[in-house]
Amino acid sequence: MDFSNKTVVVTGGTGALGTAVVGALIAQGARCVVPYMHEAEMQRFAHRADKGVTLVAVRDLADETDVAKLYAQAGAPLWASIHIAGGFAMGKVADTGKAALMAQIEQNLVSCFLCCRAAVNAMAKDGGRIVNVAARAALEPRTGAGMSAYTIAKSGVAALTAALAEETAKDGILVNAVAPSIMDTAANRAAIPKADFSAWPKVEEVAATILHLASPGNRVTRGAIVPVYGKS
């Protein structure tokens, strides 16, 4: 998985999974372009001082102007775009209003769509890789009971991945997604303190799958929504 001299955009790159992905990419020689929304988020990012990382302040990845700014900073040619950014909210349908539904769709699906569009335009002549992050509930909607808006949004990410993969195959752009179960992060441990953490996939393990799909070594896989569940 040699990423030497390759530019990779990583949205959500300052989060737990994103930090693992960026760390693995720069270890393989990539130049990572990572957006952030808040100064505190940037300051605690473990790779902020690495010469292989370019941080870009953005307001909203569901905004076309902000997405255009991000990909302009990345420049062309762009090799890969990895879309981890999103949001999560619990809530039964009966308790979820339109504003809460649209917030999940904006944070998860619209941001992914706009970044996919920008990435395809930056890669069009040279090929590349796109990796989205869906969720287990996108593959198994019954597990999304109690978090319906999130499930709907992540199901849209899965559908987008499959449709876009067909559109771009002839251009050498391979589009895939991972679908994690709950991951072993400090925030998730705090939220569910009595869970069996050993069953949860580690962020480094999920990152390894993302890197393979984004790598030049992936020559044939497209349109896949890859379960990354660990033992959970």
d(CA 195, CA 191): 9
Handedness of CA 36, 225, 135, 50 (dihedral sign): negative
d(CA 124, CA 78): 9
Catalytic residue list contains 150: yes
**Catalytic annotation, pick one of 36, 71, 150, 229:** 150
**What type of residue is 59?**
R
- Residue 1's nearest CA partner among 209, 220, 225 is 209
Contact (CB, 8 A) for 86 and 108: yes
Contact (CB, 8 A) for 118 and 71: yes
Neighbours of 121 (CB within 10 A): 12
Which residues does the annotation mark as catalytic?
Answer: 150
